[in-house]
Structure 1
Amino acid sequence: MIALDDKTRLEMLSFEAPRIRLLRSLSIEGEGMQVLDFAAFPKQEFDLPIFCGNFFTAANTNIVVLDLNPLHDVSSRRGYKERYYDSLMPLGLKCTELLPWGGKLTSESIKFFSPIVIWTKFSSSKSKHEVLYSAFMEYYKTWMELMEQAVEDTDPSQIRCNREAQHRYLTWRAEKDPGHGVLKRLIGEKLAKDLLRNFLFSGIDELGSKTFLDYFPEYRSEDGTINERRSIIGKFFETRPWDAKGEFVGNDLRK
């Protein structure tokens, strides 16, 4: 797809596999800007984390989110954390030491990240790009290994739980994804919303019927519409809120 400026190119690819509901990428190449939005979603018979890689590069700025997003809460579901994240903490610590915490992150957003999330910002640097590429490959290889080892759920109640958890994640991301503004500027509001809902976060209409406000009623405005603010709670995390064991220890601060 060519953007409204007739210069910027958007390229979309998507795949599926026996255990993967959707593996997709969006790349954007424009004057002074490069974007890669890469994700892999397991089928609902697996409670595997969601692979997430978001990279934005402009003239002097790089913004990065790289994670195995937990399908279920790692604080309240200890077994889930132990199964998927305890053994990955050395990898996470190594990568996050080289790519340090990028600053304020809202309390709402933090719920969708794992203890090994890489959230970082840095100026353009060849050495940093090499570190980032290495981290991306290590995280992706790790996710693929987890997928190979994953045991398919057969309990209908657990499958429903997995499906709703993924649907909740998709609903949040489609509504609050920070890339919406860039897409709107490049291809217009209508196409941007279609791309978010039917490609980047495809599955909203297939995996469930709940709306954004069903999952997140605190965002309901007085007129019944969705409040567009990034944070309703009004709190953020200035530093990494997990310790070396992946235990949540952060104190969120008022803005």
Structure 2
Amino acid sequence: MTSSRSNSLEPVNFSNWRWQPFLEHAVKVLQQFNPIAYPIPQQFLEQAGATGSKAQPVAVHTATWACQTEKLRQVRAACVEAGAAASVLNLVINPSCRYDLPFFGADLVTLPSGHLLALDLQPVDRGDPLHTQPVWNRLLPIFERWKPLLPHGGPIPTEAEPYFSPAFLWARLPLGESSDELIKSTLFDAFAEYLNLYVDLVREAQPVAEERSRFLLDGQRRYTHYRAEKDPARGMLSRFHGAEWTEAYIHEVLFDLDLHYPA
């Protein structure tokens, strides 16, 4: 597929895509930071594929929206629309290591088995209270407000715990009209509130000393390596677009820190 979009700031707009309002809200909120396009190789701006049987193929479209600002190294949204097979918005905000900021992560996924919904401000280094506590003091009250309104998604692997905050909002919902309404109202409002806090943190952030910046970069590298190694979308994207394209997308777009800061 030849992309019809010339750069990563051009809107992603899929027909009947469940997560369109979430992405549009994030794009609007981020305009206050005067974003510029983030360099995304042309083959990853848009990609078409197919899933299902030969007799009944289902069209698949994957697209990337991305920007950068003074304090945010990379903001990127991986967007997938494949009808009843999958609908995905994976939005990650990667801060510059020159600022003491967490990551913002939203993983909103609809599969034939149901909805998997995750929101968090993820720590660069969970063991450093100077990094975590000022964020968690403000994030935990938000989490406590929304947690009772969304059914908990269950335990996460022990190895994943260092990469999430105690305010990790994680839910599973069955398919159906009641879940659709919960997504449009409750989940959207929770998403907006998590993002609003993150935007406040970005606005307030001041440059750190060089030694602190190296410490933050090391934490970002650990996070990025873990996420790239354990990316749960790998199997789905490989079925849709092939393993070679998927591995390049994961390492050259989704988790590309090493390309900019080689170890």
Q: The TM-score by the shorter chain falls in which range?
A: 0.7 to 0.9
Higher helix share: 2
Q: Which runs of 5+ in 1 are unaligned?
A: 210-255
Report the 3-state secondary structure (helix = DSSP H, G, I; strand = E; otherwise coil) of the residue aligned with 1:44.
coil
- Partners of 1:69 and 1:201 in 2: how far apart? 15
Cα distance in 2 between the residues matched to 1:204 and 1:78: 26
Distance (whole Å) between structure 2 residues aligned to residue 121 and residue 38 of structure 1 = 18
Mapped pair 1:191 → 2:245: yes
TM-score, structure 2 normalization: 0.75
Deviations 1:218-248 (A, max 9, x none): xxxxxxxxxxxxxxxxxxxxxxxxxxxxxxx
SS of the residue corresponding to residue 114 of structure 1 reads coil
Question: Quick one: which amino acid aligns to residue 100 of structure 1?
Answer: P
Contact 2:66 2:74 in 1 (8 A): yes
Corresponding residue of 2:202: 147
Partner of 1:177 in structure 2? Answer: 231
The 2-side partners of 1:167 and 1:208 are apart by 10
Distance 1:47 1:100, change over 3 A: farther
Contact 1:164–1:207 (CA under 8 A) maintained in structure 2: no
> Map of 1:203-218 to 2, 5 A cutoff?
203-209=257-263
Instruction: Find the counterpart in structure 1 of residue 15 from structure 2.
Output: none
Return the offset for 1:24: 0.6
Q: Distance in 1 between matches of 2:145 and 2:81?
A: 30
| Distance across 2 between alignment mates of 1:207 and 1:69 | 20
Same amino acid, percent of matched pairs = 25
For residues 120 and 56 of structure 1, the distance between their equivalents in structure 2, rounded to whole angstroms, comes to: 11
| Partner amino acid, structure 1, of 2:195 | Y
Q: CA deviation at 1:96?
A: 1.5
Amino acid at match of 1:149: E
| Runs (5+) with no aligned partner, structure 2 | 1-46, 52-57
Give the one of 47, 51, 75 matched to 2:104: 51
Aligned to 1:12: 64
- Judge conservation of contact 2:139–2:194 (CA < 8 Å) in 1: no
Question: Which string of whole-angstrom CA distances, capped at 9 and with x for unpartnered residues, describes residues 151-180 of structure 1?
Answer: 110x21111111111111111101111111
Q: 2-side partners of 1:108 and 1:80: how far apart?
A: 20
Letter in 2 for 1:78: P
- Per the alignment, in what secondary structure is the counterpart of residue 65 of structure 1? strand
User: What displacement does 1:207 show?
Assistant: 2.2
Which amino acid is 1:115 matched to? P
1-side partners of 2:132 and 2:256: how far apart? 26
Match of 1:27 among 71, 79, 103: 79
Q: CA–CA distance in 2 between the matches of 1:22 and 1:78?
A: 25
After TM superposition, give the deviation of residue 4 of structure 1 in Å: 4.0
Contact 1:167/1:208 (8 A) holds in 2: no
Return the letter of the residue paired with 1:8.
V
Q: Which residue of 2 aligns with 1:221?
A: none
Compute the displacement of 1:201 (Å).
Answer: 1.0
Residue of structure 2 in register with 1:158 after alignment: 212
Residue 96 (str. 1) matches residue 147 (str. 2): yes
1:7 is paired with a residue whose SS is strand
1:90 and 1:131 mapped to 2: Cα distance?
16
Alignment match, 1:84: 135
Query: Are the counterparts in 1 of residues 92 and 106 from structure 2 also a CA contact under 8 Å?
Result: yes
**Of 91-100 and 32-41, the range deviating more from structure 2:** 91-100
- State the one-letter code of the partner of 1:134: D
- Count of residue correspondences: 206
Report if the CA contact (8 A) 1:44-1:162 is conserved.
Answer: yes
Give per-residue Cα distances to partners, 1:66-103, cap 9 Å, x unaligned. Answer: 10001111xx3223332111122110111112123211
In the alignment, the residues of structure 1 paired with residue 230 and residue 111 of structure 2 have an alpha-carbon distance, to the nearest angstrom, of 21
CA RMSD of aligned residues (A): 1.4
- d(CA) in 1 for partners of 2:166, 2:150: 14
Which residue of structure 2 lines up, in the alignment, with residue 134 of structure 1?
189
The letter of the residue matching 1:87 is: R
Counterparts in 2 of 1:103-114, with a 5 A limit? 103-114=154-165
Q: Tell me which stretches of 4 or more aligned residues in structure 1 moved more than 6 Å.
A: none
